[in-house]
Amino acid sequence: MKIALIAHDEKKPEIVRLATAYKVILQAQTLFATGHTGKLIANATDLKIHRFNSGPLGGDQEVGALIAQNQMDLIIFLRDPLTAQPHEPDVNALIRLADVYQIPLATNVGTAEVLLRGLAAGFIDFRNLVNGDLTKHDAY
Ligand X SMILES: O=C(CO)COP(=O)(O)O
- Which residue numbers are catalytic? 60
Integer Rg of the chain from CA: 14
Taking the complex as a whole, how short is the minimal distance between the CB of residue 30 and ligand X, in angstroms? 18
Residue at 119: amino acid letter: L
Buried/exposed 90-99: b ≥16 CB within 10 Å, e otherwise: bbeebbebbe
Q: Which is nearer to ligand X, 60 or 73 (CB)?
A: 60
133 CB-near residues (< 8 Å, 6+ apart): none
**Number of chain positions touching ligand X (CB under 6 A):** 13
Confirm or reject binding of residue 55 to ligand X (CB under 6 A): yes
**50 has binding-site annotation:** no
Q: Which of 1, 42, 56, 118 binds ligand X (CB under 6 A)?
A: 56
Q: Rounded distance, CA 17 to CA 100, Å? A: 29
**Closest CB 100 distance from ligand X, rounded Å:** 18
- Is the Cβ of residue 23 or residue 87 nearer to ligand X in the bound state? 87
With contact defined as beta carbons under 8 Å apart, do 102 and 130 qualify? yes
| Touching ligand X, residues 77-106 (CB under 6 A) | 87, 91
Residues forming contacts to ligand X in the complex (CB under 6 A) are 6, 8, 34-37, 54-56, 59-60, 87, 91
